[in-house]
Amino acid sequence: MSKRLTKQDLEYAVIGGSILGGGGGGSIEMGREIGERALEIGDVYLVSTDEIPDQAVLLTVSAVGAPAAKMKKVKPEDYLRTIKMYEEVINRSVDGFITNENGGTATVNGWIQAASYGKPLVDAPCNGRAHPTGIMGSMGLHKLKDYTSVQTAVGGDSEKQMDVEVYCRGNIYNTSSIVRQASIGAGGLVAVARNHVSADYVKNNGAPGAIAQAIEIGEAFYKGIKTSSDEAIRCVCEVVDAQIVAKGKVKDYKIETLDGFDIGMFQVDNQELTFWNEYMTLDLGGDRLYTFPDLIMTMNLMTGRPVTSAEIEENMEVAVIATKSENLILGAGMFDPDLLEDVEKVIGRKMVPYVFKYEK
């Protein structure tokens, strides 16, 4: 059933989305700002895939870049500019919008576009958790040899002469790489529209219901926080069948922004976490406990609130929660071992054997 989203839904969405971000997916503060702006512009209706005709054309909207970048700047109008550019390129209007993933910011991707264009926000993200690369959020389109990717990107601070507008067409690997480079030129972040497909394709390859799951998690968080931060964390874990796997101070925190990504690692209670925007691995004494796309997330023990990898600080007291991938709503991009090999090269940790149970 179609649901008109409210400020309460927004608060639930950015908190629950941040948790499903698994260390990435953007900040809660930016997500709240975008959502509030959208609700000022007009009504935002969240609709299920069952309410959309199979032949409807849906467009993925997102932000691409490194959340920790200091020079990043994306304005609300940048998101709208990507849509105008995109529709000019394909010479037709689209019928609705989907976000690329869940996250503190990502869960509200599409809200401004939906409110401004009077079109539905469809509850079928490309992926129900956050992921580092555009290919992972392409719903398996990279495997279709005859599919041509179209992407538009806008962002950057014009006062610092860092503003960028990009249109590209080609295979998904090349267009995604161009957009990533555009984010670097724009200071770290760009608004993006990409990869229009039929609603039928989204139903079968995306993550229908993942926005509703984020809102459910956020609601559980706020139910628990009325009692304590510990209760908020417990309530969140209950929704996604997660475990609290570590508690303590962050130690040996290392982060660098490279090629438009935040890359690093740290320890909590003798457990080592690595991240490539999102948390990728969790090890204890050399034993692998969780591996992306399993969900690994840090929660501030003082406030109970989720903390992304870009927000972590040395000596911050956190709880690390984790749940297996089967408890999440995932898109087709999460089931391709080749994409995990790309992660292995960046973080220097084996992943494919832990996820797919075989060596390539």
Percent of the chain with pLDDT over 90: 89
Report, as an integer, the average pLDDT of 286-312: 96
| pLDDT at residue 74 in the model | 86
- In whole angstroms, what is the distance from residue 119 CA to residue 98 CA? 11
pLDDT band at 1 (very low <50, low <70, confident <90, very high): low
Report, as an integer, the average pLDDT of 344-352: 94
Report, as an integer, the average pLDDT of 289-314: 97
Q: Phi and psi of 229, rounded to 5°?
A: -65, -40
| pLDDT at residue 101 in the model | 97
CATH 3.30.565.10 assigned to 3-210: no
pLDDT tops 80 at residue 36: yes
| pLDDT at residue 260 in the model | 78
| pLDDT at residue 358 in the model | 47
End-to-end CA distance of the chain: 44
The string of pLDDT tens digits covering residues 128-148 is 999 998 899 999 999 999 999
Report, as an integer, the average pLDDT of 250-267: 92
Delimit the domains of the chain by residue range. 3-210, 239-356
The string of pLDDT tens digits covering residues 196-232 is 999 999 999 999 999 999 999 999 999 999 999 999 9
| pLDDT at residue 119 in the model | 97
Report, as an integer, the average pLDDT of 344-353: 94
| pLDDT at residue 259 in the model | 80
pLDDT tops 90 at residue 186: yes
The string of pLDDT tens digits covering residues 270-283 is 999 999 999 999 99
| pLDDT at residue 254 in the model | 95
Q: pTM to 2 decimals?
A: 0.93
CB 354 within 8 A of CB 291: yes
pLDDT tops 80 at residue 359: no
Report, as an integer, the average pLDDT of 342-354: 94
pLDDT tops 90 at residue 64: no
**Averaged confidence pLDDT in the chain:** 94
Beta strands in the chain (DSSP E): 3-4, 45-47, 57-65, 96-99, 121-122, 149-155, 164-170, 189-198, 243-258, 261-268, 271-276, 278-284, 287-291, 295-300, 306-307, 317-323
- In whole angstroms, what is the distance from residue 299 CA to residue 320 CA? 6
- In whole angstroms, what is the distance from residue 89 CA to residue 109 CA? 21
